[in-house]
Amino acid sequence: MTAKIRLYVDQPLGQGQSVPVTREQAHYLFGVMRLGAGAPVLLFDGQSGEWLAEVEEAGKRGGSLRVGRQVRPMQMPPDLWLIFAPIKKARTDFIVEKATEMGAARIVPVQTEFTNSGRIQRDRLQAHAVEAAEQCGGTFVPEVTDMQRLDRLLDNWNATRRIMFCDEALAGETAGLPAAPGPWAILIGPEGGFSKAERDRLRGMEHAYPVPLGPRILRADTAAVAALTLWQMSLGDWRR
């Protein structure tokens, strides 16, 4: 029988291990998907790859899974951060989901001068990252950090990590990325764009590279997908 369900578990996995499921997972596995004892489930923990398990005990409010063999090794994403200014709730959810699917290793919400959203629910966004990893076949779940101010993030920036600065003011111009491997971050601005002070600061950073995302100014959620695609095709693991 082929396993059609993938589940992230927040504990290290190993062959023969019994893994308890949460109430929410039990509802999904045994209530919604109607799995019974012996049914196969794919598990991953974000550290050791993917494992084939089977339902050991199924209940309405809980249960357990027995881990069998490893079916895929751990696949780490590139050392790439996505830094973005949160927007409306559903579109922020979209950015986190797509960043996970497209191979971001860390997702960093920031407060810029023109950011409209003043807060985030980090736990909810982290849950969206988990769900996206379950759906896309990934074995790694990126960390979604707490929201922080962009200026303070840049104050403490490690210059070994280059920044792909997606500057809407360059729409229609031509500029590319250097063929430089290593740690990178993609920076996407808010719906209102970057302020002059933010743009000037970023343009003055030796390790920041201003780039356009085509001939048109994109919405923030579209820009995140476009930027991740551009970086992955140029420097990431899509070239393998």
> Which tens digits make up the pLDDT trace of 209-223?
999 999 998 999 999
pLDDT higher than 70, residue 240: no
- Residue in this structure with the two tokens 């063929």, named with its chain if needed: 179
Contact indicator for 165, 185 with CB cutoff of 8 Å: no
pLDDT higher than 80, residue 35: yes
pTM (2 d.p.): 0.93
Number of helices (H), then strands (E), in the chain: 6, 12
Measured between alpha carbons, how far is 127 from 93 in angstroms, rounded to an integer? 10
Closest C-alpha among 53, 58, 11 to residue 33: 58
Instruction: Using CB atoms within 10 Å of the CB of residue 174, give its burial: 0 to 12 exposed, 13 to 18 middle, 19+ buried.
Output: exposed
Residue range 42-63: mean pLDDT, rounded: 94
Tokens describing residue 47: 């550290």
Residue range 49-56: mean pLDDT, rounded: 97
Mean pLDDT value across the chain: 93
All domains of the chain in start order, with CATH: 6-72 (2.40.240.20), 80-239 (3.40.1280.10)
Neighbours of 63 (CB within 10 A): 21
Measured between alpha carbons, how far is 73 from 100 in angstroms, rounded to an integer? 18
